[in-house]
Structure 1
Amino acid sequence: MNASASSSPAPRRAGPIRIAITTGEPAGVGPELTAAALAGASAHWPDAQFVVLGDSALLEARAKAASVDWAAVLAHQPVQVEHVALATPAKPGKLDAANGRYVLALLDRAIDGALAGEFDAIVTAPLQKSTINDAGVPFTGHTEYLAERTHTRRVVMMLAGTGARPLRVALATTHLPLKDVSAALTVEGLVETLGIIDHDLRHHFGVRLPRILVTGLNPHAGENGYLGREEIDTISPALAAASAQGIDARGPYPADTLFQPRYLKDADCVLAMFHDQGLPVLKYATFGEGINVTLGLPIVRTSVDHGTALDLAGTGRADAGSLIAALDTAVSMARHRRAI
């Protein structure tokens, strides 16, 4: 476990890899994508079992909308449903604050099970933050909630594509107004973030010697101080400190030129300074097949790289590619974790 987590790592399980899936916002595409992704579970993941957390009737209805024979999936695939009742019936595309606490109940059940060693990993379908906030629960996002519930002081959001050499982009800050980013960047925080990335790439992704490329904050990486001093006063000292700890982190590089194949070909991850500096590039390159991974937790968590797609809910037109990739990654991370 990295130094940022105050809770103990989840116990290791024996037997088949067991993955909990939270089906997310009931008015969104999460339930039907779950059904579609699991239709061929035994062929895709022969060593895994899946526990779907959600309302049974909702899952059956949305599976039908996605042209999935849900009864056949439950009968012939390594899939079971743990029923959690909706607070009120859910209509596709129609948000209802009454179900905000239902969404949190799914997430809490998955987290508690993972911490207890019941699940090797959790995979989260998209939720709607506004629904939870409208239910009277202050909520910033999955990443922050997972950190709070697992008593982890610092976590790192990383989005990734799939493939033989996937593009991975981690964030030094997450859901902050742009005006607050500079003040949130510290030498200590960046060193800790780099340590988390290095640790998890080694232990959960099987990268033997991770190489991390780091962006600057300002245009042209500060232009030697003429366009800002964060690169000189904060980022460069953090890179020096990380290097002294044996972490191969390089930069700071101008973000507008870093995302080119000639720079990325030998990189295992890019650390961007803020949300919209790194993620537009990642999503442009991988949307529909990208995933979200929370690094630094005592448990394994992956998710899709898209939102609730309320306009597609119940239509059967939503693409399950990102959820399938998230399940792939969760199973792979669980395998690496067991091998440690």
Structure 2
Amino acid sequence: MTRVRPPLVASLGDPAGIGPEMLIKAWTARGPERLAPFAVVGSLSLMQAIADNVPLASVRAVDRLEQAADVFADALPVIDIGSLAYTPGAPSREGAKIALASLERATGLARDGEASALVTGPIAKAELQDVGFAHPGQTEFVAEACGIAPQDAVMMLAGPSLKVVPMTVHVSLASVPGLLTRDLIVSRIRIAAKALARDFALPEARVAVAGLNPHAGEQGRMGREEIEIIAPAVEVLRAGGLDVVGPLAGDTMFHAAARANYDLAVCMYHDQALIPIKALDFDRGVNVTLGLPIIRTSPDHGTAFSLAGTGRADAGPTIAALRMAAECAERRAEQAA
């Protein structure tokens, strides 16, 4: 088992989604999956109701995160923040309040050094906004809580086959060209390279940068963003000593032979990055926030309300997020020693 101290902390996510059940299933697989100790900030009554329907599952309340390691072998430690009935697949205002309180408490524990890393469960943004959540997503919330500007928190999707960073995320495709700038690309790749060195043992990461247009613009015949924005950004990065190539044609970047030539693929928009990683690592992909003083990971899936309570949801992404968080924390601890 990976030895990480202090324990990891996980936020609940939306209580009506699959997040809580996935955390319980991950705990039941702690031995064969060699998971480091973790605790969940959430509702003990809800977690108990779920555990009653999961074979071999057990939960136990803890008052402080430091107690989690002693409890973890026998039960999933839960820092109880309020009673809540279990209504799978039916998001509610009360559930959203618990989800927000869980995220706030868990983030604070990681920020204050009481947890070695933060793993966030999937949320329903619309429900959270109804109870005062004013951020586009959890990434921006965690960044602000850590004193980091949202634009300096970089989303990376990572799996066994591929790591990708999209330059733009939840925006319309039509708005992407206007959002891309040389400075944006340079800043985010520098943040990513620093994080890959610190948390992923890649001190000289090889970065491949995709073009925006088909065939990387084909020398301006299909668009000039590659010539005017992306190539100049690559030159700045290379002049600064980073191993960066591009812009490359997005349709030939992701086959096995091409992937062997880089450690990170940087893409210009959401689907250019997420389609290949979900095709390759659908059940093992992890959302990692780079550029934070803390380690934050999340399973790369949503609340899946339609699967909640059915027992059919796969805990693989949650296990992968917990394992990656622990591995990154271990690397940081080794560097600090």
Give TM-score scaled by structure 1 length.
Answer: 0.89
The residue that corresponds to 1:192 in the other structure is 187
**1:183 pairs with 178, 181, 185, which one?**
178
The residue that corresponds to 1:334 in the other structure is 329
The answer as to 2:124 corresponding to 1:128 is yes
The residue that corresponds to 1:49 in the other structure is 37
The answer as to 2:222 corresponding to 1:231 is no
The residue that corresponds to 2:236 in the other structure is 241
| Structure 2: distance between partners of 1:324 and 1:207 | 23
5 Å matches for 1:110-189?
110-153=106-149, 154-162=152-160, 166-189=161-184
| Structure 1: distance between partners of 2:276 and 2:31 | 34
The residue that corresponds to 2:64 in the other structure is none
- What secondary structure does 2:165 align onto? strand
| One-letter amino acid of the counterpart of residue 58, structure 1 | L
Shift of 1:78: 7.2
| Structure 2: distance between partners of 1:314 and 1:142 | 24
| Structure 1: distance between partners of 2:27 and 2:220 | 52
**2:298 pairs with 294, 303, 307, which one?**
303
Query: Structure 1: which 5+ residue stretches go unaligned?
Result: 1-13
| Structure 1: distance between partners of 2:56 and 2:314 | 13
Shift of 1:136: 4.2
**1:32 pairs with 21, 24, 36, which one?**
21
Query: Structure 2: which 5+ residue stretches go unaligned?
Result: 61-67
The answer as to 2:53 corresponding to 1:84 is no
| Structure 1: distance between partners of 2:82 and 2:135 | 21
The residue that corresponds to 2:285 in the other structure is 290
Shift of 1:139: 3.5
5 Å matches for 1:14-29?
16-29=5-18
The residue that corresponds to 1:7 in the other structure is none
Distance 1:201 1:186, change over 3 A: same
| Structure 1: distance between partners of 2:240 and 2:72 | 51
The answer as to 2:106 corresponding to 1:106 is no
Question: Alignment identity in percent?
Answer: 39
| One-letter amino acid of the counterpart of residue 159, structure 2 | G
Whether the 8 Å contact between 1:65 and 1:315 is mirrored in structure 2 is no
Give TM-score scaled by structure 2 length.
Answer: 0.90
Tell me the C-alpha RMSD between the 2 structures.
2.0
Deviation readout 1:124-175 (Å, 9 max, x if unpaired): 121111211233433321222222222212111111112xxx3111111121
| Structure 1: distance between partners of 2:212 and 2:39 | 41
| Structure 2: distance between partners of 1:266 and 1:122 | 31
Paired residue total: 322
| Structure 1: distance between partners of 2:104 and 2:78 | 16
Deviation readout 1:279-304 (Å, 9 max, x if unpaired): 01110111111111111111101110
